[in-house]
Every structure is written in C-alpha cells, then in structure tokens.
C-alpha cells in the first residue's frame, strides 16, 4: 500500500507539472513587433493597400478633385477680351439708287478693359481654385485618418478575441485539473462552478465582440466604397510606428502644412485680389472701332468719287455710378477680415488639438511601458506561482481566479493602449498634412 500511495503521489506530481507547464505556455505575452519585422511589414502593406483603395474610390474626394479642375476652366473665360461687336446697316431709301451692295455699311468694335484688369480676374479665380484644392487635400487626409482609425479599432477587437481565446484555453486546462481534484475529493464543487461561470462569461464576451467586429467591417467597407460583405483581412499583429519628430517640429508643421489653415490663408489672399480687381473694374474701358461706308449709303454731293468711306472710332466707357465698385471693394475687405479671423480660430483649435493628441500619444506610450514591463510580467509570474501551489494542493483557488481576471484585463488594456497610440499618431499625421499632394503628383499617378 505504501508503494501504491507513493506511485500515486508521483503521478499527481507529474500531472500537476504537465498542467502547470501547459498553463505557462498559455501565459506568454502577446508581442507587438518592431516596425521592421516581417509581421509589421505585412500589416503595414495591407493597411496601405486599403488606404489607396479608399482614396481611389471615395466619391467625395473625386467630386472635390473635379471641382478644382472645373474652377481652373474659368481662368481662360475671365481672362478673355469681350466678344467684338459687328454691325451691318442697309440704307433703305437712299437719295441716289444704285447697286444694293453700295447701300450698306459694315462696322466692327472691340472693347478693352483697363490695363491689368484681365490679369487680376485670372489671379482671383486661381486663388479660389487653390482654396478648393486645400479642401481636396483636407478630405484626403480625413479619409486616410478615418481608414486608419477604423483599421486600428478592428485590430483592437481582433486582438481582444485572441486574448479571450488564450484565456479560454487556460480556463479549460484549469477546469480539467479542478475536475480531477474534485473527483478525488480534494476540492469543493464551488471551484469547478466558478471556472464554468468564468467560461460562460468569456463566451458571451467573445460573441459580443465578434458581432461588433462584423459591424465594424461593414463600416470599414463603406469607407472604401465597396460591398458591405467584402472580406477584410486583419493580420494577427499590428504595425506600431513611433513618432520620429519632436513636439516643436509637429507644431510648426501643423501651422505650415495643415490644409484647413492654408485654405483660410488663401481665402484672405483671394479677397485682397478681389479688392484690387474691383478697383481696376472702376477704371474706364476703351473700345476701338472701324466703319466701312459704301458710296451710296448716304448721298453727299460734296463728296466726289465712288470710293467707300472708312471711319475709325474710339469709345470710352466711363464708370460713372461708382457706388457699385465701392461696395465691391468693401465686400472684399470684409471677406479678407473674416478669413483672417477664421485663420486665428483655426490656429487656436489646431494648436489645442495637437497638444491633446501629443498628450494622448505619450499617455498611451507610458501605459504600454507600464503594462509590458511591469504589470503583465508580474501578474503572469504571480499566476504561475499560484497555479503551481494549487497543483501541489497548497494554493488558494480564489487567488487564481482573481489573478487570471487581472491578467485578462491588463492584456486588454495593453492592446487598447497600442490602438490609442496609433490613432493619436494617425490624427497628428492628418493635422500635419501627411497626405497633402500637388495636382502634378495626382496627374502622374
């Protein structure tokens, strides 16, 4: 009997060791790869493909792009001279009848605005077109930022499911160990029921997240303007690039490259050009004309000969009612002031947003370091010890449940911190005009 008891004890120890080893393997940390690793490169490539697809298919971006080129088509229209006027006159009752062709007069006249007026008209339209181009750039940056944010949110849910799956495996192994000890009378049925309660709770959370992830995929597909049921590929690891610029550089870049702020600056410039254009429109314009009068158009005995008469003319259009032009100039000055005030408002808002996003980024960075370097390793170590003691008949099952739940929450917090860091970086990129382009770059694609 002594030998049998000793053999049974060794079997229990061996089974417990295998159990602890299996649980230890399930407690390995989820590693987030460096930007240069193959997993990170795969994730980055997939995301870039989706971004390009969204930029290509987005109807709003296409509409703003076409609006810019439609505006450019107005430049040659406003820069052209007025159409010349041609007039044909026929003298019905001349004093001396002859060939009907000799009773006609043909005249032509061309009007010319004041010097520089046409150039200002073109410049004003070009400024307006540039404002519309900044709206196009702003929309591009917004689309990219939305795609990235939705992508990282899907990653968050996908990684939560991976964490839950690992915890389900851990609970399954723990349940089998508790079941054996319960059958041998070493533990209460309460321990087994608590494991099953945790499993039921995890199954419900998994079902909820799977449903939420499917809904998020539909939203993601709508950003790409493709069928809602289209497959969305989510790699198991998430690309996690770091900010490579300091705070001051980011602030300056936002003020220099942000499309919304640049659009307000161009609106002010366009208003100044409009004011100068109104000033030139108030100047006189000139018309040059030529009249060819045939000999029998009007009978003049004092004019001998059969030659047709040529008459040149100069017309001056005098803008006598000047209230119209004064109102145009005043309107342009008001619009310039509005644009200037909006610049200040946008500058203040962008500065505040930049500071907030930097704070969010660094807060997430600190949380990542806290969870990766201290909380998760220590909790994982404590859980291993508790499992080992429990397998040896000395541990507290309540402590195991608490540590397992705490590890689950910490791993989810770490995953969420990575997501928040990436989203903050994506929003900073949108503010700094990361995806700004020129018309030449678009045409070369």
The pTM (predicted TM-score) of the whole model is: 0.82
Say if residue 439's pLDDT is above 80. yes
Which CATH number is 2-80+131-244+358-444 given?
Answer: 1.20.1600.10
Structural Rg of the chain based on CA atoms: 40
Say if residue 242's pLDDT is above 90. no
What lies within 8 Å, CB to CB, of 399 at 6+ separation is 386
Weakest-pLDDT range from 223-227, 296-300, 316-320, 370-374: 296-300
369 burial (CB, 10 Å; 0-12 / 13-18 / 19+) is exposed
Rounded CA-CA distance 136/442 in Å is 11
Above pLDDT 70, what percent of the chain? Answer: 85
- The answer to whether the CB of 155 falls within 8 A of the CB of 234 is yes
Residue ranges per structural domain of the chain:
2-80+131-244+358-444
Above pLDDT 90, what percent of the chain? Answer: 61
Residues 176-232 have pLDDT tens digits of 888 887 787 777 788 888 888 989 999 999 999 999 999 999 999 999 999 999 999
Write out the DSSP string of 24-51: HHHT---PPPPTTSHHHHHHHHHHHHHH
């Amino acid at each position: 009997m002594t030998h049998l008891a000793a053999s049974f004890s060794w079997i229990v120890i061996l089974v417990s060791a295998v159990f602890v080893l299996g649980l230890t393997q399930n407690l390995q940390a989820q590693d987030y790869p460096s930007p240069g690793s193959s997993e990170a490169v795969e994730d980055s490539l997939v995301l870039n493909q989706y971004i390009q697809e969204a930029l290509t298919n987005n109807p709003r971006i296409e509409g703003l792009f076409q609006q810019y080129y439609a505006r450019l088509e107005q430049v040659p229209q406003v820069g052209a001279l007025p159409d010349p006027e041609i007039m044909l006159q026929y003298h019905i009752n001349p004093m001396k009848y002859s060939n009907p062709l000799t009773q006609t007069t043909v005249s032509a006249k061309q009007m010319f605005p004041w010097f520089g007026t046409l150039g200002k008209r073109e410049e004003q339209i070009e400024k307006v077109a540039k404002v519309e181009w900044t709206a196009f750039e702003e929309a591009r940056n917004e689309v990219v930022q939305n795609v990235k944010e939705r992508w990282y949110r899907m990653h968050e849910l996908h990684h939560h499911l991976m964490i839950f799956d690992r915890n389900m495996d851990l609970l399954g192994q723990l349940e089998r160990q508790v079941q054996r000890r319960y059958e041998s009378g070493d533990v209460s049925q309460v321990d087994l029921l608590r494991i099953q309660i945790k499993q039921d709770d995890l199954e419900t959370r998994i079902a909820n997240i799977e449903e939420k992830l499917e809904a998020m995929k539909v939203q993601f597909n709508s950003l790409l303007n493709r069928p809602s049921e289209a497959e969305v590929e989510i790699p198991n690891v998430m690309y996690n690039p770091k900010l490579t610029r300091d705070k001051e550089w980011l602030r300056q870049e936002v003020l220099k490259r942000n499309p919304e702020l640049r659009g307000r600056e161009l609106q002010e410039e366009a208003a100044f050009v409009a004011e100068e254009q109104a000033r030139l429109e108030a100047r006189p314009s000139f018309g040059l004309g030529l009249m060819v009068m045939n000999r029998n158009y009007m009978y003049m005995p004092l004019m001998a000969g059969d030659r047709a008469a040529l008459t040149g003319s100069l017309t001056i259009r005098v803008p006598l009612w000047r209230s119209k032009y004064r109102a145009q100039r005043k309107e342009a000055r008001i619009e310039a002031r509005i644009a200037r005030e909006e610049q200040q408002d946008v500058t203040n808002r962008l500065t505040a947003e930049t500071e907030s996003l930097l704070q969010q980024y660094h807060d997430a960075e600190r949380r990542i370091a806290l969870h990766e370097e201290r909380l998760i390793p220590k909790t994982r170590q404590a859980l291993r010890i508790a499992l080992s003691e429990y397998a040896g008949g000395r541990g507290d099952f309540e402590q195991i449940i608490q540590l397992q739940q705490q590890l689950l929450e910490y791993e989810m917090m770490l995953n969420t911190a990575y997501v928040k860091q990436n989203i903050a970086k994506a929003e900073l990129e949108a503010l700094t005009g990361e995806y700004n382009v020129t018309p030449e770059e678009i045409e070369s694609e």
